Amino acid sequence: MSTVVADLHHEAPSEASRVHYLNASYGIKSWLLTTDHKRIALLYLASITLMFFVGGTAAVLMRIHLIQPQGSLFEPGTFNKLFSAHGIVMVFFFLVPSIPATLGNFLVPMMVGARDLAFPRINLLSWYLYITGAAFALYAILSGGVDTGWTFYTPYSSTYANTHVIAAALGIFISGFSSILTGLNFIVTIHKMRAPGLTWFRMPLFLWSMYATSIIFILGTPVIAITLFLLGLEHILHVGIFDPRIGGDPLLFQHLFWFYSHPAVYIMILPGMGVVSELIPAFSRKRIFGYGFVAFSSMAIAVISFLVWGHHMFVTGQSIYAGLIFSVLSFLVAIPSAIKVFNWTATLYKGSISYQAPMLYALGFIGLFTMGGLTGLFLASLATDVHLNGTYFIVAHFHYIMVGGAVMAYLGGLHFWWPKITGRMYPDGWARFAALVIFVGFNLTFFPQFMLGYLGMPRRYAVYPEEFQVLNVMSSAGASILGIGYLIPLIYLFWSMRYGPVAGPNPWPAKGLEWETPSPPPTENFEHTPIVTEEAYDYANMHIPPSESQVSGETHG
């Protein structure tokens, strides 16, 4: 009997009355105590957006300060606290959770065809851990700041610490467990909850990248946790294993720190690569070129990423032979990254390309990531690194990867899946415009920093010689454009939640299980457990119903 009722309901879905995950229940409690992966994804989305603008504010203040060679706003000590706050917030509270905790949380169960992640309550716990960690970090920043840089090198952070190191380190320690739990949930979900017919090599590449990211989460994050734990004990007891007075080695802290923090770079970029691997086929109407290579390159990056940490320490006096090995291994990690770039490009070849907003971000990602990756090879080379280490060249390099790569992919993915998440379309014209503004602003901000670094301007200084002013002003001008570029999506995405045209189940249209369910999806994701009978990205054989070829639906409001 109940089946008949359900089928009748399915026959005539009235868009206004349909129950989905957003209107299934109301009230603050239904959000704060939810175990629905889609709602938790939105909780994360709101929290990391807040943290992004906190970290962004610190960046804007620094760029304003650096317009004048003698610095226009702050004491050098305050400047130290600003770049530390920027780094800590952006790395640990925005970039690391950005794609996995929002898009990953939303999409992993949908892409495997499951009703939820394997452990929904642990998923909610991970958000609370993140919030607690973020609260400690914000407390540390607002109550006086931390001046150690985001790397917390000893003895700045132990013997000679005079700022709120403990609160900041505790915040990172706690939020680290949130990452571990997310990674654990993804690994178990991908292993055990794939829909019938969804074999490993039929999975969307986004799942492969989430799987590789999760491996780094569970293997790397515990090491930074124990490292910060030891740092905290040393700070409190005034004696510990990095303390030279009892034979401790401060450099050991750097080894342990980079054992996590270099793989963490791939925590930030691998999900972005996963997003781009979804966007490129969808907007080229082609199956991805070399599926297996792209999938395994994610795993290769995850494995090799644990073997290259020493390239952060070429000039610390580590053994020259260790440096040689680390240099070779760092070159090795460029190979799987290059495989991905070549395969994306090959996918574009003879594709039927359309330049909608998500695709603009994806193309921007490929260009900027390539720039960032190639300049990384300068730093992996022992001799050139001696010249470039500790300069703005490094700052530019990792911002090309982290902002030009990870943030571009994050925004591209957010635009791509926004109609699925909210059920609404955003204004495509504004979105394309914002993508362009961000691309221009980004390059104007960070390309001059390559030149500054090559000319020898050290990073983390509050003042600089006058001959560097032109390039610094260019960089600051770019930062203001970039800042506006980030504000535009914030406005129209909010606007679209209420006033955007209603998106159909599959507005692009794209392949993948997540597009075969209504937008926004019902709480249980699918009416029936889906059965997968085809390879991923089978765009060649995709039948596009005429009603879905365009954004359908009426404008509300």
Chain positions contacting another protein, by CB under 8 A: 2-3, 6, 24-25, 30, 33-36, 39, 109, 114-120, 122, 180, 183-185, 187-189, 191-193, 218-223, 225-227, 229-230, 233, 237-241, 246-248, 252, 256, 522-524, 527-529
Of 39 and 397, nearer to another protein (C-beta) is 39
Give least dist CB 383 to another protein, A: 29
The alpha carbon of 362 is separated from its chain's Cα centroid by a whole number of angstroms, namely 14
Give least dist CB 127 to another protein, A: 14
CB 445 within 8 A of CB 452: no
Cis check: omega of the bond before 336, within 30 degrees of 0: no
Give least dist CB 173 to another protein, A: 11
Of 90 and 112, nearer to another protein (C-beta) is 112
Of 35 and 381, nearer to another protein (C-beta) is 35
CB 444 within 8 A of CB 477: yes
Of 26 and 321, nearer to another protein (C-beta) is 26
Of 36 and 514, nearer to another protein (C-beta) is 36
CB 89 within 8 A of CB 141: yes
CA quadruple 505, 513, 417, 24: dihedral positive or negative?
positive
Cis check: omega of the bond before 204, within 30 degrees of 0: no
The C-alpha atoms of residue 430 and residue 433 are separated, in whole angstroms, by 5
Give least dist CB 221 to another protein, A: 7
Geometric angle at alpha carbon 260, from 401 and 181, rounded to 5°? 100
Of 231 and 502, nearer to another protein (C-beta) is 231
User: Which residues, other chains included, contact 437 with Cβ-Cβ below 8 Å and sequence gap of 6+?
Assistant: 481, 482, 484, 485, 488
Residue 198 in tokens: 């969804």
Of 73 and 252, nearer to another protein (C-beta) is 252
Give least dist CB 536 to another protein, A: 22
Give least dist CB 322 to another protein, A: 14
Q: Which residue from 392, 397, 399 is spatially nearest to 376, judged by alpha carbons?
A: 397
Give least dist CB 251 to another protein, A: 11
Place of tokens 């702050």: 74
The C-alpha atoms of residue 313 and residue 390 are separated, in whole angstroms, by 11
Give least dist CB 133 to another protein, A: 16
Give least dist CB 155 to another protein, A: 16
Give least dist CB 508 to another protein, A: 27
3-state secondary structure of 459: coil
Give least dist CB 187 to another protein, A: 5
3-state secondary structure of 537: coil
3-state secondary structure of 350: coil
| SS3 letters across 128-194 | HHHHHHHHHHHHHHHCCCCCCCCCCCCCCCCCCCCCCHHHHHHHHHHHHHHHHHHHHHHHHHHHHCC
- 66 by Cβ neighbours in 10 Å (0-12 / 13-18 / 19+) ranks as buried
Of 211 and 486, nearer to another protein (C-beta) is 211
Of 171 and 248, nearer to another protein (C-beta) is 248
CB 163 within 8 A of CB 144: yes
Q: Phi, psi at residue 378, to the nearest 5°?
A: -60, -40
CB 44 within 8 A of CB 130: yes
User: Which residues, other chains included, contact 274 with Cβ-Cβ below 8 Å and sequence gap of 6+?
Assistant: 99, 205, 206, 207, 208, 209, 210, 213, 298
Q: How many CB atoms lie within 10 A of CB 428?
A: 14
Of 265 and 388, nearer to another protein (C-beta) is 265
Of 42 and 85, nearer to another protein (C-beta) is 42
Of 7 and 75, nearer to another protein (C-beta) is 7
Give least dist CB 514 to another protein, A: 16
